[in-house]
Amino acid sequence: MTSPNMSLKGRDLLTLHDFTVEEVNLLLEEGARIKALQKAGIPHPYLQGKTLAMIFQKSSTRTRVSFEVAMFQLGGHALFLSPRDIQMGRGESVADTARALSRFVDGIMIRTFDQNEVEELATYATIPVINGLTDLTHPCQILADLMTVKEHKGTLSGLKLAYIGDGNNIAHSLMYGCAKVGMKVAIASPDGYKPNAKVVELAKQDALLTGTSIEVVSDPIEAVKNADVIVTDVWASMGQEEEQKIREKAFAAYQVNEELCSHAKPDFIFLHCLPAHRGEEVTAEIIDGSHSVVWDEAENRLHAQKAVLAMLV
């Protein structure tokens, strides 16, 4: 059994924009390699004796389970820390929490609201910090997405991905990640819900490095035309529940359904980070149909995060 590539040891994962083209591809290759080991029943305890602190300011199914299982299968241990479990939830500064945890554990994964909180944690921690999700970015999800696309399409460079819906953390991280691997991205969102302009600018800079393009439009048909991959997300993310009715009206024309998907390539694949609301952002015919690879995508959260943990921690 070969050891993981250690070129990223000690690094933080805050956004995929922070990583080079080569580094993103290394993470994807490592994820595929570790997945193959698991499927073959070959143990891979690269983090024997290591401990990961998992801070959850936002609840989760896939992030919680995949990181905890990943640490166990890598030979390490994960500590679940909710706001009720640590002093950061009762007024201790992020900086002091970072300093204290750095003396106890080997890495920190945090799932929270504010990107600045993750960045501050990384500034003061002396151990790797992994962004498990913020309102701005979701890098671990997109590494799993890219793994899934490569498994089903055999390549990444030159493919077109269409994202339909809210210009949120998934849209942002898809732009960053796809730009690094040479995929064309078209984002379709209604006015008032477009992606963050600064993220779009940075992603377009990344796209220049791989000769691809980032496009933000209002027309979902325009975005989906000739797409190899179609992605969507819920219309109201965690913390936006009070906007549900308003968003249902704003996104009514942005549902991923059979009519919209008819404009994509015949062999398109469909991704959704989950949880999904059938009948809202996507119809059951699409998410439960033959084009959907959402369960492979969900599983790949485990393998992609193993790669992140093995290479960074």
In degrees, rounded to 5, the angle at the alpha carbon of residue 159 between the alpha carbons of residues 154 and 161 is: 115
Of these residues, 44, 111, 172, 291, which one is catalytic?
111
Which residues, 6+ apart, have CB-to-CB distance to 151 below 8 Å?
A: 32, 296, 300
Measure the CA–CA gap between 170 and 12, rounded to whole angstroms.
19
Annotated binding residue 169 = yes
Annotated binding residue 87 = yes
Of these residues, 11, 138, 272, 303, which one is catalytic?
138
Question: Which two three-digit tokens encode residue 81?
Answer: 């820390």
Annotated binding residue 60 = yes
CB-CB neighbours of 266 under 10 Å: 7
Q: Are 294 and 287 in contact (CB under 8 A)?
A: yes
Of these residues, 273, 291, 303, 305, which one is catalytic?
273
Annotated binding residue 261 = no
Q: Is 141 a catalytic residue?
A: yes
Q: Are 160 and 184 in contact (CB under 8 A)?
A: yes
Q: Is 288 a catalytic residue?
A: no
Q: Is 90 a catalytic residue?
A: no
Q: Is 111 a catalytic residue?
A: yes
Measure the CA–CA gap between 138 and 166, rounded to whole angstroms.
14
Measure the CA–CA gap between 39 and 234, rounded to whole angstroms.
31
Annotated binding residue 233 = yes
Q: Which is it for strands 51-56 and 77-81: parallel, antiparallel or unpaired?
A: parallel
Of these residues, 17, 44, 57, 141, which one is catalytic?
141
Measure the CA–CA gap between 160 and 167, rounded to whole angstroms.
18
Q: Is 64 a catalytic residue?
A: no
Annotated binding residue 66 = no
Of these residues, 17, 247, 301, 303, which one is catalytic?
301
Annotated binding residue 168 = no
Annotated binding residue 267 = no
Q: Are 143 and 28 in contact (CB under 8 A)?
A: yes
Annotated binding residue 141 = yes
Sign of the CA dihedral running 14, 15, 16, 17: negative
Q: Is 103 a catalytic residue?
A: no
Of these residues, 233, 247, 272, 305, which one is catalytic?
233
Instruction: Please enumerate, by residue number, every residue annotated as part of a binding site for carbamoyl phosphate.
Output: 60-63, 87, 111, 138-141, 273-274, 301
Residues annotated as catalytic (active site), given as ranges: 111, 138, 141, 233, 273, 301
